């Protein structure tokens, strides 16, 4: 099943001769939607995942993604709404933790 995540205002507002369909509502897809909206280009974001999972979800901002958000002038706003990740745990399907690390010091290297 594909869920409609977001879309631009009605096409008549933009007068755009085409509509961009963005497949995937992760970091790249939502950033593209933001850019298209600012440029006045009609778009539709689709994602196969659940829109709001009952257990929550995360989007990790890696350095290359932060550079793009900075170039768009929205990095500070995004970071203001984020919390910093500390330890990272890797678990097997049975729940056994097989690896643990301090994520932030590793990224800073």
85 or 12, which is more confident?
Answer: 85
Quick one: how many helices (H) and strands (E) in the chain? Answer: 5, 5
pLDDT for residue 94: 86
Residue 35 in this model has a pLDDT that exceeds 60 = yes
The HSE-up count of residue 3 (CA atoms within 13 Å, CB side) is 10
Q: pTM of the prediction?
A: 0.59
Mean pLDDT along residues 52-61: 70
pLDDT digits (tens, 9 = 90+) for 70-103: 999 989 998 898 887 777 788 888 888 888 888 6
- The residues, ordered by sequence, that sit 6+ positions from 103 with a Cβ below 8 Å of its Cβ are 85, 86, 87, 88
Q: At 48, list the tokens.
A: 């196969």
Beta strands in 19-96 (DSSP E): 20-23, 43-47, 87-91
Coil, strand or helix: which one is 106? helix
């Amino acid at each position: 099943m594909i869920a409609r995540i977001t879309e631009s205002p009605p096409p008549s507002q933009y007068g755009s001769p085409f509509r961009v369909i963005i497949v995937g509502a992760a970091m790249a897809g939502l950033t593209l939607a933001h850019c298209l909206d600012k440029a006045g280009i009609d778009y539709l974001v689709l994602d196969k995942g659940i829109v709001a999972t009952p257990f929550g979800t995360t989007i990790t901002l890696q350095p290359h993604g932060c550079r793009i958000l900075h170039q768009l002038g929205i990095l500070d706003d995004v970071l203001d709404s984020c919390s910093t990740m500390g330890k990272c745990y890797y678990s097997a399907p049975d729940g056994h933790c097989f690896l643990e690390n301090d994520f932030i010091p590793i990224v800073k290297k």
